[in-house]
């Protein structure tokens, strides 16, 4: 049984521990391969500066590769009495290699490991796994308000879902935009594992909305209260919508007028508008180049298999909103 890093010799209340830990172990399992990847780079550095011998580096490298194989095969687990993925990896190495396994932690803190794991995870996941949703309001010709909800792909800045309504009701506005985004995702790899980020608006944290997010395997995320930084991209989309469409024309006559204008603007945004954040490319071009790069990386493997006579179906390019 592994001891927890914060263990001071007393037994914590089980209910409190379960509440504070929550789904940490499940989430840490998604970081496991990146923890091994970061550790491989770290021990190479330790050997280079003389803190590990060549033999210790070899043993640790073999041990980490063994753990990596277990992760890929789905056999890696974080034991209930282990603090986190970092502790589990160190524990396994120590069991299998003795004291040399403990050296994997030399010269770095847990905070260092967390940051490295998350950066490596985001490097792979951001191109395909996060979408944002927020509703701007629009003044109508009769003095009432219309509302528009957008769902935006973080990687390519593509608007993958939108809806207009004369009410902020969850079912009539943001849920409609979400359903459109889910439909788009169904033909682009699915929604499982997506991160759905929004602010703390009542519509986005309502039971009906969060239930729908969970039904499709998406992970809900909300910004911290009073912090606008992680909402900046969505606010940028809303701001562009208002300055490029809403404020440049007369008030909309009715909901149908608003929907038609929004449809045209979204089509232009995705296919023709140049985005500074994308290197002055369109969202469509950004996606096309991403797929082309993925295909180019897969091509040598396919050719090698054809040459050897063992042809395997190439992996499908996997992209998500």
Percentage of the chain beyond pLDDT 70 is 79
Full-prediction pTM beyond 0.85?
no
Structure tokens at 166: 């004369």
Burial class (CB in 10 A: 0-12, 13-18, 19+), 178: buried
- Mean pLDDT within 165-192: 90
- Mean pLDDT within 29-53: 92
Amino acid 7: pLDDT: 57
Q: Residue 45's pLDDT band (boundaries 50, 70, 90)?
A: very high
Residue 155, pLDDT above cutoff 80: yes
Poorest-pLDDT segment among 41-45, 65-69, 129-133:
129-133
Amino acid 311: pLDDT: 36
- Mean pLDDT within 158-174: 93
Query: For residue range 210-269, what is the model confidence (pLDDT) as tens digits?
Result: 999 999 998 888 866 655 556 778 888 988 999 999 999 889 999 999 999 999 999 999
Most confident of 134-143, 164-173, 223-232, 301-310: 164-173
CA 114/CA 198 separation, integer angstroms:
24
């Amino acid at each position: 049984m592994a001891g927890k890093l914060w263990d001071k010799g007393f037994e914590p209340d089980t209910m409190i521990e379960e509440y504070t830990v929550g789904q940490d172990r499940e989430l840490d399992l998604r970081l496991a391969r990146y923890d091994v990847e970061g550790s491989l780079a770290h021990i190479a550095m330790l050997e280079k500066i003389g803190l590990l011998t060549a033999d210790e580096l070899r043993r640790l490298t073999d041990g980490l590769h063994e753990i990596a194989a277990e992760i890929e095969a789905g056999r890696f687990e974080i034991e209930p009495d282990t603090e986190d993925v970092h502790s589990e990896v160190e524990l396994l190495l120590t069991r299998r290699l003795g004291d040399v396994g403990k050296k994997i932690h030399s010269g770095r803190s847990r905070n260092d490991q967390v940051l490295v794991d998350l950066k490596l995870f985001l490097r792979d996941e951001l191109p395909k796994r996060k979408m944002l949703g927020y509703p701007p309001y629009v003044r109508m010709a009769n003095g009432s308000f219309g509302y528009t909800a957008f769902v935006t792909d973080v990687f390519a800045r593509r608007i993958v879902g939108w809806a207009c309504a004369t009410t902020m009701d969850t079912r009539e506005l943001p849920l409609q935009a979400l359903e459109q985004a889910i439909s788009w995702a169904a033909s682009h790899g699915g929604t499982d594992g997506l991160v759905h980020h929004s602010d703390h608006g009542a519509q986005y944290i309502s039971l009906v909305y969060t239930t729908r997010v969970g039904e499709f395997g998406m992970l809900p995320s909300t910004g911290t209260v009073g912090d606008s930084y992680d909402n900046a991209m969505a606010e940028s989309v809303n701001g562009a919508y208002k300055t490029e469409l809403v404020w440049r024309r007369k008030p909309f006559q009715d909901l149908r007028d608003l929907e038609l204008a929004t449809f045209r603007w979204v089509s232009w945004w995705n296919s023709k508008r140049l985005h500074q954040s994308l290197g002055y490319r369109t969202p469509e071009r950004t996606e096309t180049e991403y797929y082309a790069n993925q295909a180019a990386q897969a091509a040598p493997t396919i050719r090698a298999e054809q040459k050897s006579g063992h042809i395997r179906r190439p992996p499908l390019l996997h992209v998500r909103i």
